[in-house]
C-alpha cells in the first residue's frame, strides 16, 4: 500500500534545519562582526559606503556602517539590532557589542564541533553573562558629575581616532560643558570631594552606600547639533541658544531683533491653495480682480493678527508667500519659513513659545522669548541664531567644516562623546579602556568557571575568551601582534594589575587609567548584555522556515548581504 505524501507547507517555503540552520546563522553573524572589526579602536580604519544613488558615507562608526549596508539575512539582522540598541541606550560602543556577539557565536561553534549540545552551551553562556555583569559592577570605578577632568578624558577616549581626532580636547570641553548644563544633578559632593585618578579605589557597592543623588535626567535631544559648511572645523562652537539652518525670508527684514517675541506658526502664510479639483470660473476682469482682492485680504488679516500679538519674530513651519513677506517686512518682523518640525519643537522648548496651528489663535498666541534673534553668515551658509532664550538649557553645538563628509563624521564623533559623558554622569560608574576591563573580566570569569561542571565550564571559558577579542583586535588594528599582547595582558592581570591595558598612544601594555583611557561602565554592561542575549537566541534556533517572495527569490536566507558571496 502506498501512502500519499503529507504536505505540511507550500512548495515555495524554504526550510533549513538542525545543524545547517545553526551553522548558516553563525556564519552570517560572524560575517557581520568581521565587517566592523577593522574599525575598532583609535587605530581602526574607515569604511566608504556608496548608496544606489551614489551618496557617499565615510565612517568608522559601527552602527552607521551596518545601517547603510541594508543587511537582509535574518540572523545578521539580529546582529544589526544589537548595534542599534547599543546606539540608543548608550550612544557608543556599537562595534564592541557586535564583535562580542560574533565571537560568542564563533566560539560556540567550536563547542558544537566537540559535540556539546546547544542547550549546555546556552546555559553556560547565560551563567557567564550574569557573572560577568556582577563582576563588572564590582570592579567599576565611581565618579561624580563634578569630576570634570575625568569626564573630559571619557569624551576624548570616545573620540580618539575619529573624525574629530585633532581637536578632541576642545570638543571634549564643549561636550562636558554642554552635557552638564542640560543635566539635573543634586550630587552630595561633600561625600566625594575632588578626586584624582589615583583615588579610583572604591567599588560600586561604596556608591550604593554613599548614595549618589541624581535624577538621571539627561536628554541629549536638548543639545541641538547644527552643521555649517565653510569655516574650519576648529571654529566649532557651543552656543547657548538655538541655531537654525535658515535665513530670513526677505532682505528687507531686520538683521537683528533684540528682545525677541517669537510666534511659532505651523501653517502656511500664503494664499489659500485651491483644492486640485476646485474649479473657479471667472468670466470677467472684475471678477478676477475681486478674487485676488479677497485672497489678499485674508493675507492682510493674518499679518494683522501677527502684528496684534506683539510678535517681532515669526518661525513658520510651512511657506510664506511674497505678499505676506512684503507685509511682514514692512512691519519690521523677522521671518523664517519652512522650519523643520523638530526645530519648531526645540524652539518652543527653548523660548517657551507655543506652536500655533489655528488661524484664530494667531492674534493671542503664547509668544516665546529670546534676547536676540539674529542672522549670521558663515561662508556659504546663512544661519539664524536665537540667543538668550527663556530656557537656559537650550544649547546648540555648531560644527563648522569644509565638506559634508567631514561635518557628518565629526557629528558622529561628537555624539559618541556626548553619549559617553551622559551615561558616565547618569550611572556614576566608569571602567578602564584599552581592553583592560575585558581582560580583567575574563580573568575573574575563568576563576569562577572552575567551580562549575565540566561542560558548562567549557562554555564559560569560551565566553571569557570572546571578551578577549576586544584587546586583541585593538592590537591587531594597530599593527601589533595580538598574541604577544594577549599573553602580556593576561600575565599582568594574573599578577593583580587590574588596570593593565593596551595604550595605543604608546603601543605598550600599561596602566590605562594613568594614561587616562577611560570609558563608561554602561558601554560594557549594555554590550555584554545584548551580545549574550542575541548569541543565545541564535544558538537556540534549529529550524529556519522562510517564505519566498513573489519573484520566487529566497527571502534573504542565502545571499542577503550586498557585495557578499551567497552562502
Ligand atoms: P565602538 O564602536 O565599540 O565604540 P571604537 O572604534 O570607538 O568602537 O573603539 C572603542 C575601543 O577603543 C574601546 O575598547 C576603547 O577602550 C579603545 N580605545 C580608545 N582609545 C584608546 C587608546 N588611546 N588606547 C587604547 N585603546 C583605546
Ligand atoms: Mg566608540
Cβ–ligand 1 distance for 42 under 6 Å, the answer: yes
Residue with the three cell numbers 575574563: 442
pLDDT in tens, 464-510: 999 999 999 999 999 999 999 999 999 999 999 999 999 999 999 99
Find out whether the beta carbon of 510 lies less than 6 Å from any atom of ligand 1: no
**Cell digits of residue 331:** 512691519
C-alpha dist (Å) from residue 174 to 161, 343, 417, 488? 18, 21, 10, 37
Q: Is the pLDDT of residue 11 over 60?
A: yes
Closest CA to ligand 1's atom 11 = 41
| Angstrom distance (rounded) from CA 320 to CA 116 | 69
Instruction: Decide: 432 in ligand 1 pocket, CB within 6 A.
Output: no
Of the listed ligands, the closest to the CA of 36 is 1
Question: What's the pLDDT at 191?
Answer: 37
Q: Is the CB of 471 under 6 A from ligand 1?
A: no
Catalytic residue among 222, 343, 408, 416: 416
Q: 144-238+395-427 architecture in CATH?
A: 2-Layer Sandwich (3.30)
Instruction: Please report where in the chains the cell 542599534 appears, as a residue.
Output: 84
Dihedral sign for Cα atoms in the order 370, 373, 376, 382 = positive
Q: Is 259 a catalytic residue?
A: no
Instruction: Locate the domains of the chain by residue range.
Output: 13-142+432-547, 144-238+395-427, 241-275+282-391
Q: Is any ligand 1 atom within 6 A of the Cβ of residue 62?
A: yes
Could you give the CA distance from residue 555 to residue 269 in angstroms, rounded to a whole number?
A: 48
Task: Compute the distance from residue 189 Cα to the ligand 1 centre, in Å.
Answer: 30
Q: Separation of 427 CA from ligand 1 center, angstroms?
A: 20
**How many angstroms is it from 430 CA to the middle of ligand 2?**
14
CA distance 311 to 257: 11
How far apart are the CA of 316 and the centre of ligand 2, in A? 38
Residue 562's pLDDT band (boundaries 50, 70, 90)? Answer: very low
- Ligand 1 lined by 92 (C-beta under 6 Å): yes
More confident site: 393 or 434? 434
Q: What's CA 479's distance to the chain center, in Å?
A: 29
* pLDDT higher than 80, residue 219: yes
Inform me whether the pLDDT recorded for 520 exceeds 70. Answer: yes
- Give the rounded percent of residues in the chain with a pLDDT score beyond 70: 89
Burial string for 22-37 (b: 16+ CB within 10 Å, else e) reads bebbbbbbbbbbebbb
pLDDT at 454: 85
266-305 pLDDT, tens digit per residue, is 988 887 655 455 666 778 888 888 878 888 888 898 899 9
* Beta bridge partner(s), residue 544: 16
CB 36 within 8 A of CB 52: no
* Annotation says 132 is catalytic: no
Identical topology for domains 13-142+432-547 and 144-238+395-427: no
* CATH number for the domain formed by residue range(s) 13-142+432-547: 1.10.560.10
Smallest CA separation from ligand 1 atom 25, residue: 434
Nearest to 68 by CA among 85, 56, 82: 56
**Residues 384, 247: contact at Cβ < 8 Å?**
yes
Q: What whole-number distance in Å separates Cα of residue 186 and Cα of residue 532?
A: 35
| Residue in this structure with the C-alpha cell 569630576, named with its chain if needed | 147
Please name the fold of domain 241-275+282-391.
Answer: GroEL (3.50.7)
User: pLDDT digits over 240-274, tens only?
Assistant: 999 999 999 999 999 999 999 999 999 888 876 55
DSSP state of 354: P
> Residues 95, 157, 236, 427: which is the catalytic one?
95
Which region holds residue 149: left if phi is over 0, alpha if psi is between -120 and 50, else beta?
alpha
The alpha carbon torsion through 438, 441, 446, 451 (nearest 10 deg) reads: -160
Query: How many Å lie between the centroid of ligand 2 and the Cα of residue 532?
Result: 19
Amino acid at each position: 500500500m502506498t501512502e500519499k505524501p503529507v504536505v505540511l507547507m507550500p512548495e515555495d517555503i524554504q526550510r533549513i534545519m538542525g545543524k545547517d540552520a545553526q551553522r548558516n546563522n553563525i556564519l552570517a553573524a560572524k560575517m557581520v562582526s568581521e565587517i566592523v572589526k577593522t574599525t575598532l579602536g583609535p587605530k581602526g580604519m574607515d569604511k566608504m559606503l556608496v548608496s544606489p544613488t551614489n551618496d557617499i558615507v565615510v565612517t568608522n562608526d559601527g552602527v552607521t556602517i551596518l545601517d547603510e549596508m541594508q543587511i537582509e539575512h535574518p540572523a545578521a539582522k539580529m546582529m544589526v539590532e544589537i548595534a542599534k540598541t547599543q546606539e540608543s541606550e548608550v550612544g557608543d560602543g556599537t562595534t564592541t557589542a557586535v564583535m562580542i556577539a560574533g565571537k560568542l557565536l564563533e566560539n560556540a561553534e567550536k563547542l558544537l564541533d566537540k559535540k556539546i549540545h546547544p542547550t549546555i552551551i546556552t546555559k553556560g553562556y547565560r551563567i557567564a553573562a550574569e557573572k560577568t555583569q556582577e563582576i563588572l559592577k564590582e570592579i567599576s570605578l565611581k565618579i561624580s558629575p563634578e569630576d570634570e577632568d575625568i569626564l573630559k578624558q571619557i569624551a576624548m577616549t570616545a573620540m580618539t581616532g575619529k573624525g574629530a581626532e585633532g581637536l578632541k580636547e576642545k570638543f571634549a570641553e564643549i561636550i562636558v560643558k554642554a552635557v552638564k548644563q542640560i543635566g539635573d544633578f543634586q550630587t552630595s559632593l561633600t561625600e566625594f570631594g575632588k578626586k584624582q585618578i589615583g583615588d579610583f579605589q572604591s567599588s560600586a557597592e561604596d556608591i550604593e552606600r554613599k548614595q549618589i543623588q541624581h535624577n538621571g535626567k539627561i536628554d541629549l535631544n536638548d543639545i541641538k547639533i547644527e552643521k555649517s559648511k565653510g569655516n574650519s572645523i576648529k571654529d566649532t562652537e557651543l552656543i547657548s541658544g538655538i541655531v537654525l539652518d535658515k535665513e530670513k525670508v526677505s532682505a528687507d527684514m531686520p538683521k537683528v531683533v533684540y528682545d525677541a517675541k517669537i510666534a511659532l506658526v505651523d501653517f502656511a502664510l500664503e494664499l489659500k491653495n485651491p483644492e486640485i479639483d476646485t474649479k473657479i470660473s471667472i468670466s470677467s476682469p472684475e471678477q478676477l480682480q475681486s478674487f485676488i482682492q479677497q485672497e489678499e485680504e485674508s493675507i492682510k488679516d493674518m499679518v494683522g493678527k501677527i502684528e496684534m500679538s506683539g510678535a517681532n519674530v515669526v518661525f513658520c513651519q510651512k511657506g510664506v508667500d511674497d505678499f505676506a513677506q512684503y507685509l511682514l517686512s514692512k512691519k519690521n518682523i523677522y521671518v523664517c519659513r519652512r522650519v523643520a518640525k523638530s526645530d519648531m519643537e526645540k524652539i518652543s522648548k527653548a523660548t517657551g513659545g507655543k506652536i500655533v496651528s489655528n488661524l484664530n489663535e494667531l492674534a493671542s498666541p503664547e509668544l516665546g522669548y529670546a534676547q536676540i534673534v539674529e542672522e549670521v553668515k558663515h561662508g556659504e551658509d546663512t544661519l539664524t541664531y536665537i540667543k538668550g532664550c527663556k530656557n537656559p538649557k537650550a544649547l546648540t553645538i555648531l560644527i563648522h567644516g569644509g565638506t559634508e563628509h567631514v561635518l557628518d563624521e565629526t557629528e558622529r564623533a561628537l555624539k559618541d562623546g556626548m553619549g559617553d559623558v551622559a551615561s558616565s554622569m547618569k550611572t556614576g560608574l566608569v571602567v578602564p579602556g584599552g581592553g583592560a576591563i575585558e581582560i580583567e573580566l575574563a580573568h575573574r570569569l575563568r576563576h569562577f568557571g572552575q567551580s562549575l561542571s565540566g561542560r558548562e565550564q567549557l562554555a564559560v571559558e569560551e565566553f571569557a575568551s570572546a571578551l578577549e577579542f576586544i584587546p586583541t583586535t585593538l592590537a591587531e588594528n594597530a599593527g601589533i601582534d595580538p598574541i604577544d599582547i594577549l599573553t602580556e595582558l593576561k600575565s599582568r592581570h594574573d599578577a593583580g594589575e587590574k588596570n593593565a591595558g593596551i595604550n595605543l598612544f604608546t603601543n605598550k601594555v600599561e596602566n590605562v587609567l594613568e594614561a587616562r583611557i577611560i570609558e563608561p561602565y554602561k558601554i560594557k554592561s549594555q554590550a555584554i548584555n545584548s551580545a549574550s542575549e542575541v548569541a543565545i537566541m541564535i544558538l537556540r534556533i534549529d529550524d529556519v522556515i522562510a517564505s519566498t517572495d513573489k519573484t520566487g527569490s529566497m527571502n534573504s536566507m542565502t545571499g542577503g548581504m550586498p557585495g557578499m558571496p551567497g552562502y
